[in-house]
């Protein structure tokens, strides 16, 4: 499971960080940091929600 | 070979110019009369790229998913949003920029009201404001959809984005003033935004009136202290180095307008169109109302649910947005020559994309004229065609309020449709947008009848 972030699309809403705080975080400037680009299986459901609810469609999940 | 050329966007050729351009005015009159027809004609005649002339302003229109992606992905230094909307300057006035850079936006997003974690509070406010608008309705009657939703969204936007104390100062006069400001976005501003036209005079009177209204508001709020002080109260007391006030009421009025503008006519129009489309499609309406009744049967709060999934309602809203996007032309100014495939658009021209065209491209949305909320069902997700389904734009400048707007519409309809049933008070086809202004609004009359539901 690999997370792809399209920086052209991300606006820093922080929705992903609310869904999967162990994987996504906004830094002090409001830029998204993907802390775990290859998240463990235990994070799968949370990451799927983060991808689904991202308001700009900036995240995709690759198996 | 041809493909290699395509891939590298080598540029070189000037885009074709659309026929039918008049001396001086170019295509401006067609833009004012039937803008969406004009854009489709360009696509038929010129293909995915073609040039329009708005009274000497050259606008290169890009249509189709691929060309639109190139537009939305372009760097800020290349395509600039701020410089592209001359008709907004007299609305905002001095001292207010049309739009922030992506960097400023990210900064603003950091601790500002659109951030995800503030949404629940907003949802509660919006549900309460909808209740207040319903109070005077009584058991049954008739209302004008534009008036109703334009007034409601003035209250919701001001309460959520500016402050609850400030919202309590507002009266129905504010939405009428805003209506005049919005109508003041006539495309003739491309000739000159100060032409002696009735709509421009009304725009300038409305702005002046707003300064008067806000001067009174701030006089009343002068004694507010401590935690109850809100954004504008604080801005008004700021001093520069010489001790003079940094912002006067005129500039604050411009800030107020710019904070309210993007989320007002857009949300108001989408709420009205969602209701109209539901009433045109009773089977969809039934499914939406049943869904709401079921979800809220356990007595849960709108503020809780508006942030979660309400699939049938969301699909109904998205489909209304697809067919009736509140903005029909998104523009950027070319700062560094823009290359797409074999074409070059030099600096100084404008480039544009039309959500009204894109959202009805048959290759992206089969049977594009059909209102079909099933497009958004699991596995279809028409709205995830990020560079084709573009009622909110796409890329860096995608509407930052999109999530807020969706939440707001869910909160409004969760409240409204559980209390009232509606029916159209006019023939279904009589509801039309007025495209003569750059800010699209429903044409009045646009009336609906309502009846209170049995408890």
- Quickly list DSSP for B34-68: -HHHHHHHHHHHH-SEEEEEETTEEEEEE-SHHHH
How many angstroms away from the CA of B404 is the closest CA of chain A?
10
A11–B117 CB contact, under 8 Å: no
Contacts of A8 in chain B (CB under 8 A): 72-73, 395-396
Instruction: Using an 8 Å CB-CB cutoff, list chain A residues near B398.
Output: 9, 11, 56
Q: Best residue in B68, B70, B106, B381 to probe A by mutation, most A CBs within 10 Å?
A: B106
Per-residue pLDDT of chain B (455 residues; tens, 9 = 90+): 344 444 556 678 999 999 999 999 999 999 999 999 999 999 999 999 999 999 999 999 999 999 999 999 998 888 887 777 778 888 888 666 555 555 555 555 554 566 666 788 899 999 999 999 999 999 999 999 999 999 999 999 999 988 999 999 999 999 999 999 999 999 999 889 999 999 999 999 999 999 999 999 999 998 888 888 888 888 888 888 898 888 888 888 988 888 888 889 999 999 999 999 999 999 999 999 999 999 999 999 998 888 788 999 999 999 999 999 999 999 999 999 999 999 999 999 999 999 999 999 999 999 999 999 999 998 899 999 999 999 999 988 888 889 899 999 999 999 999 999 999 999 999 999 999 898 999 999 999 999 999 87
- For B98-143, how does the pLDDT look when each residue is reduced to its tens digit (9 = 90+)? 555 555 555 555 545 666 667 888 999 999 999 999 999 999 999 9
Distance from CA of B408 to the nearest CA of A (A): 14
pLDDT at B5: 43
Give the ipTM: 0.84
What is the reported pLDDT for A32?
92
Which tens digits make up the pLDDT trace of B16-73? 999 999 999 999 999 999 999 999 999 999 999 999 999 999 999 999 999 999 999 9
For residue range B436-451, what is the model confidence (pLDDT) as tens digits? 898 999 999 999 999 9
Helices (H) and strands (E) in chain A, counts: 2, 4
Question: Is the CB of A5 inside 8 Å of chain B's CB atoms?
Answer: no
How much is the pLDDT for B106? 54
Chain A residues inside the 8 Å CB shell of B110: 12, 26, 29-30
Per CB-CB distance under 8 Å, the chain B contacts of A18 are: 116-117
Q: How far is B28 from chain A (nearest CA, A)?
A: 33
Measured CA angle at B153 (ends B358, B150), to 5 deg: 80
**Looking at CA atoms only, how far is residue A1 from chain B in angstroms?**
20
CB contact under 8 A, B398 and A56: yes
Name the residue in chain B with its Cα closest to that of A27: B110
**Token pair of B229, please?**
């002080």
- Cα distance between residue B378 and residue B221, in whole Å: 50
Q: Which of A8, A13, A56 sits opposite B115 (nearest CB)?
A: A13
Closest chain B residue by Cα to residue A9: B395
């Amino acid at each position: 499971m690999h997370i792809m972030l399209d920086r052209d699309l991300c606006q820093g809403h922080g929705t992903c960080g609310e869904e999967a705080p162990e994987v996504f975080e906004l830094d002090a400037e409001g830029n998204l940091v993907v802390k775990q680009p290859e998240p463990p299986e235990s994070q799968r459901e949370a990451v799927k929600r983060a991808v689904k609810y991202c308001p700009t469609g900036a995240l995709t999940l690759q198996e | 070979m041809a493909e290699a050329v395509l891939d590298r966007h080598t540029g070189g050729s000037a885009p074709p110019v659309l026929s039918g351009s008049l001396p001086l005015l170019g295509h401006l009159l067609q833009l004012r009369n039937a803008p969406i027809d004009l854009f489709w004609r360009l696509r038929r005649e010129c293909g995915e790229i073609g040039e329009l002339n708005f009274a000497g302003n050259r606008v290169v229109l890009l249509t189709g998913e691929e060309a639109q992606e190139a537009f939305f992905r372009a760097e800020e230094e290349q395509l600039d949003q701020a410089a592209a909307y001359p008709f907004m300057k007299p609305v905002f006035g001095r001292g207010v920029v049309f739009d922030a850079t992506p960097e400023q936006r990210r900064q603003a997003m950091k601790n500002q009201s659109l951030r995800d974690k503030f949404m629940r509070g907003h949802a509660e406010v919006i549900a309460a404001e909808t209740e207040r608008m319903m109070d005077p309705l009584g058991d049954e009657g008739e209302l004008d959809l534009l008036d109703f939703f334009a007034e409601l969204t003035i209250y919701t936007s001001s309460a959520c984005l500016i402050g609850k104390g400030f919202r309590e100062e507002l009266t129905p006069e504010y939405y009428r003033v805003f209506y005049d400001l919005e109508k003041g976005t006539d495309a003739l501003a491309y000739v000159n935004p100060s032409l002696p036209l009735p709509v421009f005079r009304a725009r300038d009177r409305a702005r002046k009136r707003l300064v008067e209204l806000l001067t009174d508001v701030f006089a009343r709020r002068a004694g507010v202290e401590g935690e109850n002080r809100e954004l504008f109260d604080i801005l008004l007391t700021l001093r520069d180095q010489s001790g003079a006030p940094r912002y006067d009421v005129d500039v604050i009025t411009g800030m107020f307008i710019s904070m309210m503008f993007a989320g007002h006519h857009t949300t108001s129009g989408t709420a009205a169109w969602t209701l109209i489309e539901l009433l045109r499609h009773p089977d969809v309406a039934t499914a939406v109302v049943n869904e709401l009744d079921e979800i809220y049967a356990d007595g849960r709060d709108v503020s809780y649910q508006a942030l979660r999934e309400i699939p049938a309602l969301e699909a109904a809203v998205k489909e209304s947005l697809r067919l009736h996007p509140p903005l029909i032309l998104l523009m950027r100014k070319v700062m560094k020559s823009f290359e797409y495939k074999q074409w070059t658009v030099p600096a100084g021209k404008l480039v544009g994309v039309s959500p009204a065209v894109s959202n009805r491209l048959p290759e992206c949305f089969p049977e594009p004229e059909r209102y079909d909320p099933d497009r958004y069902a699991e596995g279809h997700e028409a709205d995830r065609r990020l560079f084709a389904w573009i009622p909110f734009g796409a890329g860096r400048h995608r509407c930052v309020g999109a999530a807020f707007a969706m939440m707001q519409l869910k909160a409004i309809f969760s409240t409204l449709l559980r209390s009232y049933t509606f029916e159209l008070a006019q023939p279904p086809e009589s509801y039309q947008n007025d495209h003569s202004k750059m800010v699209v609004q429903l044409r009045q009359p646009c009336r609906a009848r309502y009846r209170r539901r049995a408890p």
